[in-house]
């Protein structure tokens, strides 16, 4: 596809405000193609006033029984139609997302396919999730039922737009809510494309809004507004912490999927080829812009030199290139500003005494001109307490450390504020079980990394957040549980029975 043809498929930049396409009235935001710095779109983001309007309209539509009390199998049909719409448009979504984020087309196509799967899964969960008849303690029928919360705000980051959007929007809609989605300002276009698909799928107008715009403006409004019953947030830890404070003030439930500094552990009995491929994929795929990036690598001393030697050679051989080139493994970072931040982390680590094994710079040559590329980078000679091992870089930067034994590596892996993911490479599954159970982390991967299933819960510990998404219970996170008792005796309550008989 030529660049001028791409322009035809990019969303025009209008917001999707409760079923209506219109210009925002908030601060300007710019979507840039990270491979060459070309501007995709300049758009006016949503203002607080736009948000107020979307909330008011969503409230009216959500309260309408036509949506609120729709039978599960009927509401599920809406989700199946959205899934079909995404699947029918995978190439288009993939192209828009690659322009918006600089990710490879291969990756964005996989993200779009997974988003379709998420909508289909939550349609199926909705159809098959039962309420409970609970054990009786008296002559009454006792039920635990679930109802929609009302209005849900989904606030998402830029690194995997359509997948993280779907992970929130699908269960929230399935649960019978209205959803207001605020994508990140560096990647507003993918969510607007999702809005087009949702509209085409015939979801009642007003139930879904896509409101890109500044976090401090529209993001803030969504968090603070009294009609928003839940915020589902994915993003950085400092933003998440601020949202949690505001949620506490409102006594509003919130789920927070935050940052990570995930350890990857290679024991000396690991299958080295398997571990090598897994470690490379774990840190350098998505150019390291992944919450679960395996950014701290612990290698057992017996194999340290051999393994790290091979790792550096393999890293140098990774193909850094254009997102549209099918051979590319490492595409540009999201934005020039982000590349500067990544480079600053590396510079600070080198100043603090780290040894640069490879990378540590932008690639040179015409092919990279104007793009925000950064070479896959490995640093050694660091301590687990150094800043480079504690702070999330969110780029293709790996810190490598040796370890002695199980006890040592468990202590080092756990000596960190984050607790999102961990990879363990060993041929001994009992060892993987012992170590995996001892490490504070929402997800453990043994002899694999970054593998996901929508049926399996996901979330973090510590500074990586709170709450879980995905899985069957992921639907319940967007519902209010209600207990319902019906008397089966037909007799007046003994406490007042005499009094009643006497009157």
Single out the residue of 389, 447, 414 nearest to residue 267, CA to CA.
447
- Does the footprint of ligand NAD cover residue 216 (CB under 6 A)? yes
- Sole residue written with tokens 């030529």: 2
Q: Residue 262 interacts with ligand NAD (CB under 6 A)?
A: no
Nearer to ligand NAD, 44 or 75 (CB): 44
CB of 335: closest distance to ligand NAD in angstroms?
A: 10
480: Cβ contacts below 8 Å, ≥ 6 apart? 146, 147, 148, 149
Binder of ligand NAD out of 323, 460, 462, 471 (CB under 6 A) = 460
Report, in Å, the least distance between residue 260 CB and ligand NAD.
Answer: 6
> How far is residue 253's CA from residue 15's CA, in Å, rounded to a whole number?
27
157 binds ligand NAD (CB under 6 A): yes
Residues in Cβ contact with 455 at an 8 Å cutoff, skipping those fewer than 6 apart: 121, 470, 471, 472
CB 136 to ligand NAD: min, Å: 41
Q: Is 191 in the site for ligand NAD (CB under 6 A)?
A: no
Beta bridge partners of 21: 16
Residues 234-253 that bind ligand NAD (CB under 6 A): 234-236, 239, 242-243
Binding piece for ligand NAD, criterion CB under 6 A, among 2-10, 126-134, 219-227, 272-280: 219-227
Residue 116 C-beta-side C-alpha neighbours within 13 Å: 19
Does 153 bind ligand NAD (CB under 6 A)? Our answer is no
**Residues 168, 198: Cα–Cα separation, whole Å:** 14
Binding mask 412-431 for ligand NAD (x = CB under 6 A): --------x-----------
Find the part of the chain contacting ligand NAD (CB under 6 A) among 7-15, 83-91, 178-186, 353-361. Answer: 178-186
Q: Percentages helix, strand, coil for the chain, rounded to the nearest 5?
A: 45, 20, 35
Binds ligand NAD by CB under 6 A, chosen from 16, 33, 121, 158: 158
- Annotated catalytic residue, options 257, 341, 406, 461: 257
Q: Label residues 267-293 b or e (16+ Cβ within 10 Å = b).
A: beebebeebbebbbbbbbbbbbbbbbb
Q: Which of 89, 104, 185, 190 is close enough to bind ligand NAD by CB under 6 A?
A: 185
Give the separation between CA 71 and CA 348, rounded to whole angstroms.
57
Nearer to ligand NAD (CB atom), residue 159 or residue 426: 159
Residues near 171 by beta carbon (within 8 Å), at least 6 away in sequence = 122, 125, 469, 474, 475, 477, 478
Is 257 in the active site? yes
Query: Looking at 17-25, 254-262, 273-281, 480-488, which segment touches ligand NAD (CB under 6 A)?
Result: 254-262
Taking CB under 6 A as the rule, does residue 482 contact ligand NAD? no
Applying the rule CB under 6 A, the residues between 67 and 96 that interact with ligand NAD are none
Query: Measuring CA to CA, which residue among 124, 227, 236 is closest to residue 170?
Result: 124
Q: Where in the sequence numbering do the catalytic residues fall?
A: 257
Residues of this chain that bind ligand NAD (CB under 6 A): 155-159, 164, 182-185, 215-216, 219-220, 223, 234-236, 239, 242-243, 257-260, 291, 392, 394, 420, 460, 465
């Amino acid at each position: 596809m030529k660049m001028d043809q791409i322009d035809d498929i990019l969303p025009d930049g209008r917001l999707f405000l409760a079923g209506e396409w219109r210009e925002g009235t908030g601060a300007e935001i710019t979507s840039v193609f990270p491979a060459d710095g070309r501007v995709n779109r300049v758009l006016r983001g949503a203002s607080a006033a736009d948000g107020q309007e979307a909330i008011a309209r969503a409230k009216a539509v959500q309260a309408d029984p036509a949506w609120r009390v729709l039978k599960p199998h009927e509401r599920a049909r809406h989700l199946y139609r959205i899934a079909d719409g995404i699947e029918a448009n995978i190439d288009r979504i993939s192209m828009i997302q690659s322009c918006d984020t600089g990710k490879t087309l291969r990756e964005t196509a996989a993200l779009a396919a997974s988003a379709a799967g998420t909508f289909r899964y939550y349609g199926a969960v909705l159809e098959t999730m039962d309420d409970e008849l609970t054990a009786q303690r008296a002559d009454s029928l006792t039920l635990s039922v679930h109802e929609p919360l009302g209005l849900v705000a989904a606030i998402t980051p830029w690194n995997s737009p359509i997948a993280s959007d779907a992970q929130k929007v699908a269960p929230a809609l399935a649960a019978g809510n209205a959803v207001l989605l605020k994508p990140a300002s560096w990647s507003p276009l993918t969510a607007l494309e999702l809005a087009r698909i949702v509209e085409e799928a015939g979801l009642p107008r007003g139930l879904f809004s896509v409101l890109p715009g500044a976090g401090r403006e529209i993001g803030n409004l969504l968090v603070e507004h009294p009609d928003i019953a839940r915020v589902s947030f994915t993003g950085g830890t400092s933003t998440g912490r601020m949202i949690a404070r505001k949620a506490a003030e409102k006594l509003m439930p919130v789920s927070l999927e935050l940052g990570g500094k995930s350890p990857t552990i290679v024991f000396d009995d690991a299958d080295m080829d398997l571990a090598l491929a897994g470690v490379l994929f774990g840190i350098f795929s998505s150019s390291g812009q992944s919450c679960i990036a395996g950014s701290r690598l612990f290698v057992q001393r017996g194999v340290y030199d051999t393994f790290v030697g091979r790792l550096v050679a393999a890293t140098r051989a990774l193909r850094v290139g254009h997102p549209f080139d099918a051979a590319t493994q490492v595409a540009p970072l999201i934005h020039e500003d982000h590349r500067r931040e990544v480079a600053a982390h590396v510079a600070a680590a080198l100043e603090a005494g780290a040894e640069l094994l490879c990378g540590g710079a932008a690639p040179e040559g015409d092919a990279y001109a104007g793009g925000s590329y950064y070479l896959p980078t490995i640093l050694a000679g660091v301590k687990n307490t150094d800043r480079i091992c504690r702070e999330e870089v969110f780029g293709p930067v790996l810190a490598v450390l040796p370890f002695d034994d199980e006890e040592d590596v468990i202590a080092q892996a756990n000596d960190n504020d984050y607790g999102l993911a961990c990879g363990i490479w060993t041929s001994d599954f009992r060892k993987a079980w012992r170590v995996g159970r001892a490490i504070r982390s929402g997800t453990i991967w043994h002899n694999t990394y970054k593998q996901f299933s929508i049926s399996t819960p996901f979330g973090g510990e510590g500074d990586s957040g709170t709450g879980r998404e995905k899985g069957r219970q992921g639907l319940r996170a967007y519902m209010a549980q209600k207990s319902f008792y019906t008397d089966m005796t037909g007799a007046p309550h003994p406490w007042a029975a005499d009094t009643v008989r006497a009157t």
